[in-house]
């Protein structure tokens, strides 16, 4: 590692010396402009049929990054890359022109030719350094780096890995396809607050920040749902939002604290309408980014997203995969017994519906590879969904599972304000009994219930995790591969659990008085502060000892 760091330092020093020499010669190594006449992609499309060894009088200027440099005895060959397309440059080095370095951005002017092997090339007449790379180039063979490295140094990943760049291009195309599909169906894109005094619309732990001017804490949204439904109440019958949501919870290959969510609401519709909508939206996203409805998932299996998708109830799927029949309306003892036979534990606060969901998530979900619309969700786990019209223990809700991963969630919205308030209170009591942190029945939820009293029409709501959809479309196994800058621990941060303590000093003022029985946060001091505190204590003890003889004399 020391040798590698030394090589990087030496490279940087050598490059800085070169740039200083250019400045002394009156050449700006970072010019502000270069007038290109074409791009590499346009050149490759225009001269696709140029025969081997062909010479032309076509003079062009283009730009790009040097990704490969080879010296062949008096002629050096450069591979220039821009926008995912590559072009070979040929330059005579006899006039003692210093060649560019790998990683440099350059502008070149020259004639279009083809090499003896038929490779489209530019015979360079002049080139200009546009931006020098002070970082030593990576492996020229392009061997893959770890997910950790690619996520932390995304700019280097995009430079070295064209496949990574393709993933994010496909992400953009998929999102564009979703917008087109929704706008064609009369939906209006809107924006709702990211910060609010309280978080609501889902059960999750929020991030909390401080607004200094208002003198109050604000929370980053965990879902835009309640705001969007208030817009429907106000008369905006078809709305959608594509935006970031934030949940201060665990991280995994399928979870990032900051992620992109699509939420759609349609007045005078229900969850059946949402089933049709989600299928069309996903297919449009696939066609826009892939040109096909067939995708390959990390297990190597091919999945066809073409319509129609399978529809099945959660209870039927559990029976199909485990042989155990569990239903939300069955006796609690029977549901717990079924979990016991499968070797699964349960919480005392769980009802039969929660037991059903636990089995589905543990034994079924990962095995659903083809697109499956899972219906029959219990009321117990669906506080915002309308009761099923044929079974009051269930709701009109469904999830879409593809490739063993939840992709979407939708339901017929509950629009009875009295029942909604009761659901919030019931969920809050259940969460408190289970010792879970929750913000249900927060002031934001109360404002939503008050808005419901103005009248929410029958409404269908749909949420799609955009990052997971892109994972599916790009055959990515980690969510970090489809988020340009995923949340990561700082490389200089120490894991709090590593030594059982933190060196951070809290910024909140310490309490000067505490009510009996109230919790007081422990304060961890930085290393320097602890040393000063120890020395102060030692001086105090020595001072007291020096006073002992005088006290004895008295």
pLDDT for residue 324 is more than 90: yes
Residue 221: both structure tokens together: 């949204």
In whole angstroms, give the CA distance from residue 5 to residue 16. 17
Q: Which of 95-109, 184-198, 321-335 shows the lowest per-residue confidence on average (mean pLDDT)?
A: 95-109
pLDDT at 288: 98
Strand 188-189 to strand 238-246: parallel, antiparallel, or no bridges (unpaired)? parallel
Shared domain for 201 and 87, answered yes or no, is no
146 domain residue, yes or no: no
Q: For residue 9, what pLDDT band results from cuts at 50, 70 and 90?
A: confident
Beta strands in 359-417 (DSSP E): 372-375, 377-378, 394-395, 397-402, 405-412
Shared domain for 123 and 193, answered yes or no, is no
504 domain residue, yes or no: no
For tokens 């915002």, what's the residue? 384
In whole angstroms, give the CA distance from residue 274 to residue 459. 10
CA distances from 57 to 35, 60, 160 (A): 19, 10, 33
pLDDT at 522: 36
Element (H, E) at 55: strand 55-72
332 domain residue, yes or no: no
pLDDT at 507: 33
Shared domain for 377 and 455, answered yes or no, is yes
pLDDT at 521: 36
Distance of alpha carbon 243 from its chain centroid, rounded?
11
Count: domains in the chain: 2
> Which carries the bigger pLDDT value, residue 349 or residue 266?
266
Residue 180: DSSP 8-state:
H
In whole angstroms, give the CA distance from residue 61 to residue 83. 16
pLDDT at 218: 92
Q: Which of 49-58, 126-135, 306-315, 530-539 shows the lowest per-residue confidence on average (mean pLDDT)?
A: 530-539
pLDDT at 149: 85
409 domain residue, yes or no: yes
Find the CATH number of the domain harbouring 283: 3.30.930.10
pLDDT at 396: 97
Beta strands in 115-220 (DSSP E): 120-131, 188-189, 195-196, 208-211, 216-220
pLDDT for residue 19 is more than 80: yes
pLDDT at 443: 61
Q: Which of 326-330, 346-350, 456-460, 506-510 shows the lowest per-residue confidence on average (mean pLDDT)?
A: 506-510
| Average predicted confidence (pLDDT) for the chain | 86
- The residue out of 481, 504, 539 marking a domain boundary is 481
Cβ-contact 194, 243 below 8 angstroms? yes
Shared domain for 105 and 27, answered yes or no, is yes
Shared domain for 274 and 397, answered yes or no, is yes
Shared domain for 22 and 74, answered yes or no, is yes
Residue numbers of the domain that contains 94: 1-131
């Amino acid at each position: 590692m020391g040798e590698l760091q030394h090589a990087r330092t030496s490279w940087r020093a050598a490059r800085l010396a070169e740039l200083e020499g250019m400045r002394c010669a009156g050449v700006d190594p970072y010019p502000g402009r270069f007038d290109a006449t074409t791009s590499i992609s346009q050149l490759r499309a225009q001269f696709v049929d140029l025969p081997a060894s062909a010479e032309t009088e076509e003079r062009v200027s283009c730009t790009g990054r040097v990704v490969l440099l080879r010296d062949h005895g008096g002629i050096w060959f450069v591979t220039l890359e821009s926008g995912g397309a590559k072009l070979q440059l040929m330059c005579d080095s006899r006039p003692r022109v210093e060649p560019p370095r790998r990683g440099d951005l350059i502008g070149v002017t020259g004639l279009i030719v083809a090499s003896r092997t038929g490779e489209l090339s530019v015979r360079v007449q002049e080139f200009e350094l546009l931006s020098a790379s002070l970082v030593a180039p990576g492996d020229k063979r392009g061997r893959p780096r770890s997910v950790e490295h690619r996520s932390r140094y995304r700019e280097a990943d995009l430079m070295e890995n064209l496949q990574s760049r393709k993933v994010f291009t496909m992400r953009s195309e998929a999102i564009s396809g979703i917008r087109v599909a929704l706008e064609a169906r009369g939906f209006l894109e809107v924006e709702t607050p990211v910060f609010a005094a309280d978080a609501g619309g889902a059960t999750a732990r929020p991030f909390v920040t401080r607004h200094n001017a208002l003198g109050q804490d604000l929370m980053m949204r965990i879902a835009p749902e309640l705001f969007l439904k208030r817009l429907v109440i106000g008369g905006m019958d078809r709305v959608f939002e594509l935006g970031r949501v934030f949940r201060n919870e665990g991280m995994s290959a399928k979870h990032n604290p900051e992620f992109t969510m699509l939420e759609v609401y349609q007045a005078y519709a229900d969850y059946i309408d949402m089933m049709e909508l989600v299928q069309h939206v996903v297919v449009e996203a696939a066609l826009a980014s892939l040109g096909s409805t067939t995708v390959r998932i990390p297990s190597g299996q091919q999945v066809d997203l073409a319509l129609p998708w399978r529809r099945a109830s959660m209870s039927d799927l559990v029976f199909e995969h485990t042989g155990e029949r569990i239903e939300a309306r069955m006796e609690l003892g029977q549901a717990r017994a079924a979990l016991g036979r499968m070797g699964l534990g349960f919480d005392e606060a769980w009802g039969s519906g929660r037991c059903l969901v636990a089995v589905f998530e543990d034994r079924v979900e990962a095995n659903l590879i083809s697109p499956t619309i899972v219906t029959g969700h219990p009321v117990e786990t669906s506080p915002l969904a309308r009761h099923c019209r044929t079974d009051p223990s269930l709701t009109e809700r469904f999830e879409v599972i593809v490739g063993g991963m939840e992709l979407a969630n939708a339901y017929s919205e509950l629009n009875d304000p009295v029942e909604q308030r009761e659901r919030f209170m019931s969920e809050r009591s259940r969460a408190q009994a289970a010792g879970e942190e929750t913000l249900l029945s927060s002031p934001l939820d109360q404002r939503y219930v008050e808005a419901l009293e103005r009248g929410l029409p029958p409404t269908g709501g749909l949420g799609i995790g955009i990052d997971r959809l892109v994972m599916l479309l790009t055959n990515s196994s980690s969510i970090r591969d489809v988020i340009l800058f995923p949340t990561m621990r700082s490389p200089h941060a120490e894991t709090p659990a590593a030594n059982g303590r933190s060196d951070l000093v809290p910024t909140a003022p310490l309490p000067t008085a505490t009510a009996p029985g109230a919790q007081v946060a422990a304060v961890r001091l930085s290393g320097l502060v602890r040393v000063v505190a120890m020395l102060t204590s030692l001086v105090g003890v020595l001072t007291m000892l020096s006073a002992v003889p005088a006290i004895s004399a008295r």
